[in-house]
Amino acid sequence: MYTVTLLAAPAARNLEPALVEALRNAWGGGDALWLSPDEAAAFSMDHVPDNRWDVWTDVQKQGVDLVVQPTAGRRKKMLLADMDSTMIQQECIDELADAAGIGDRVKDITARAMNGELDFEEALRARVGLLKGLPVSTIAQVLAERIDCMPGGRVLLATMKAHGAYAALVSGGFTDFTSAVAATLGFDENRANTLLSEGGVLTGDVGVPILGKQAKIDALVDITARLGISEQDVLAVGDGANDLGMLGRAGTGVALHAKPAVAAECDVRINHGDLTALLYLQGYAASEFVTP
């Protein structure tokens, strides 16, 4: 069996019952279950529709996300999440660069790397090199003044953890940021790269080995083995090219507001909803959400 989930942005709440019913009837699905009025609904099917992506394209134009996934095992035991532009709204290295007055130079490299146009490790070294001489105190300033959590993140973590799930934050960014974000949102552990400093300023170097695409896969393998769960028990979420490995290995890999080249590689794409969409995908109703 498969579950079809339709999702609208929480702020818009523009999921029309008529759309849900029309699609359910056209695809011969079961009765619709509303997980949140005007925002999220789901119904079951016994096959994946041949015109799935044509319909997906149509409903995207209406501000609605459409996901078709196996019903069995939808509710996951572990969350494996990227940080930049996923659990937070910014790219930390871009914000550091902006504070240093070299924002445009670094943002261009970041965008190209996240879209898979540049080698991640080379791009990271190049960007960190441009930060040489930046006072370490800038990191705390950026955290306090420039970093915002992605909407729905706190509820996602609180709800999954209330149901026994484990949460890991894995980032190609930096531990100075992941440790703070992990503590704020309630992650059980975090992994990232280390910015090197000396005499209170950044050296322009990053600690090795560099955590990139393979390291995120390794985190998935290591943590599931340690917890005694399957990779199918994992919900992974990310937006960049360096996330594709873990998104492909996890039981459910979600491309969240992802770069076009990344979204094209993923069956589960959330372009309109926020992080609470990941709860609806697991079958949670809004009435089950835990507010921290």
State the CATH number of the domain containing residue 177: 3.40.50.1000
| Percent of the chain with pLDDT strictly greater than 70 | 100
Same domain, 153 and 171: yes
Sorting pLDDT into bands at 50, 70 and 90, what band is 261? confident
Give CA–CA dist 273/44, Å, rounded.
21
Partner residues linked to 235 by β-bridges:
79, 252
Residue 159: inside a domain, yes or no? yes
Whole-angstrom CA distances from 206 to 95, 128, 239 are 17, 7, 22
Same domain, 160 and 55: no
Helical (H) or strand (E) element with 46: none
Residue 143: inside a domain, yes or no? no
pLDDT the model gives residue 61: 96
Domain count, the chain: 2
Does the pLDDT value for residue 26 go beyond 90? yes
Same domain, 236 and 278: yes
pLDDT, tens only, 143-190: 999 999 999 999 999 999 999 999 999 999 999 999 999 999 999 999
Nearest to 173 by CA among 234, 231, 243: 243
Same domain, 63 and 19: yes
pLDDT, tens only, 190-201: 999 999 999 999
Q: Give the 3-state secondary structure of 225-272.
A: HHHCCCHHHEEEEECCHHHHHHHHHCCEEEEECCCHHHHCCCCEEECC
Give CA–CA dist 22/12, Å, rounded.
20
Whole-angstrom CA distances from 196 to 40, 134, 202 are 45, 11, 6
Same domain, 81 and 52: no
Quote the pTM value: 0.95
- The string of DSSP letters for 110-121 reads HHHHHTTSS-HH
Residues 6+ apart with CB under 8 A from 123: 109, 110, 112, 113
Give CA–CA dist 23/21, Å, rounded.
5
Sorting pLDDT into bands at 50, 70 and 90, what band is 252? very high
Residue 174's CB: how many other CB atoms inside 10 A? 23
Q: Which residues are catalytic?
A: 82, 84
What's 60's domain CATH number?
A: 3.30.70
Average pLDDT over residues 268-284: 98
Whole-angstrom CA distances from 145 to 115, 217, 239, 269 are 27, 32, 23, 30
Report which DSSP code applies to 288. G
Range of the domain at 59: 1-72
